[in-house]
Structure 1
Amino acid sequence: MTSAHRSKPRPTPPRGWRGLLARLPVHMHRIGLGPLFGGRLLLLIHTGRVTGMARKVVIEVVEHDPRAGSWTVASGFGESAQWYQNLRRTPQATIQVGRRYHAVTASFLPAEDGGRIMARYAALHPRMAVRLCAYMGFAVDGTSEGYREAGERIPFVRLDPAPCGRTARDDVSR
């Protein structure tokens, strides 16, 4: 058995009062409190694949490359997450980090890249990495190889700056 085997099924999104609590960061961004998250969370404004309407979700930033202007996020609910499926359909989106908006295009990373990203994340945030993997149902042994194996099974998305001609304000006003 590998060191990052699945110990329980992938979690499902929270419902009821837990769902309301999970949506609290969206409302905090909306009223201008996004800077409280210190760049660790971003608000993703994307297009719903069924309705075509703007949808919002707050996601943890796994990596940020300031030189490239890109952010990397992971889908804790796997490929079945609504935001993930919406980006698959329409990869153009807007993110809000702090008080700034950025027009971005989503790129879906291969499993090998996900493994490297997760190993780097675990080295920088060891306690959070253990909790994140446990939440997603992965039993890891605490080694970089264990995190690499878990990361290969988690969908990672890189949000790169949008090509010229499209602005973040275009998306936010929808």
Structure 2
Amino acid sequence: MPHRPTSPKRPQLPIGWRRLLARLPIPLFRCGLGWIFRGRLLLLHHVGRITGLDRHVVLEVVERAPDKSSWTIASGFGPQAAWYSNLRAEPKTFIMAGTRHHAVTARFLTPDEGAEIMARYARCHRRAARRLCAFIGLSPDGTDGGFREAGRSIPFVRLDAGP
């Protein structure tokens, strides 16, 4: 019988002061201070699939293309995250990275692509990778293979810049 990764227990959405803290970077981006995040965060604009209202969320950039034409992000709350579901419904949107706006199209990555991205991310940001895995209930063994296995159960999205 082939080994299948167990589905991680997704964390609860933050409420109260934790939600306030998580949303604090949004006004900083709006005031033109996105540069202080040094490319590690971006502001994603998305349209509510039910309400049609404009929504915003700040997400960590897991990987950026060397030519700065794409950004890869991960959904720590799984495919049920509102922004993830909204991008599934309408993949064309825009982001703010630093102080610049970019029109992007979302491309949803396969589990194998996610595995490779997570392994590369863990090589550069070992502690952050472990925290992400712990946050979503995964416990990789600290090797590239362990992070690859974890990356198979995390939904990754590549945001490709273009018209």
Tell me the residue number matched to 1:11: 11
- For residues 1-32 of structure 1, the C-alpha deviation after alignment (integer angstroms, 9 at most, x for no partner) is x7x756x6210110111111110011111112
Structure 1 gap ranges (5+): 164-174
Residue equivalent to 1:62: 62
CA-based RMSD: 1.5
| Paired position in structure 1 for 2:89 | 89
Deviations 1:34-84 (A, max 9, x none): 110000000001111011121100000000004260000000000010000
User: 1:119 and 1:143 mapped to 2: Cα distance?
Assistant: 9
Alignment partner, residue 33 of structure 2: 33
Runs of 4+ in 1 over 3 A off after TM superposition: none
- Please list every run of 5 or more consecutive structure 2 residues that lacks an aligned counterpart in the other structure: none
- Measured at CA, do residues 5 and 127 of structure 1 come closer, stay the same or move farther in structure 2, by a change above 3 Å? farther
Between 1 and 2, higher relative CO (CA 8 Å, sep ≥ 6) is seen in 1
Pick which of 26-35 and 72-81 moved more.
Answer: 26-35
Q: Which residue of 2 aligns with 1:142?
A: 142
Count of residue pairs the alignment pairs up: 160
Residues 127-151 of structure 1, C-alpha deviations (whole Å, 9 max, x = no match) = 1111111011101110100000000
Q: Aligned equivalents of 1:85 and 1:66: distance in 2?
A: 28
In structure 2, give the amino acid aligned to 1:82: A
TM-score using structure 1 length: 0.88
Distance 1:138 1:83 in 2: 22
Asked if the contact 1:91/1:107 (under 8 Å) is kept, the reply is yes
| 1:82-161 correspondence runs (5 A) | 82-161=82-161
Give the secondary-structure state (helix, strand or coil) at the position aligned to 1:133. helix
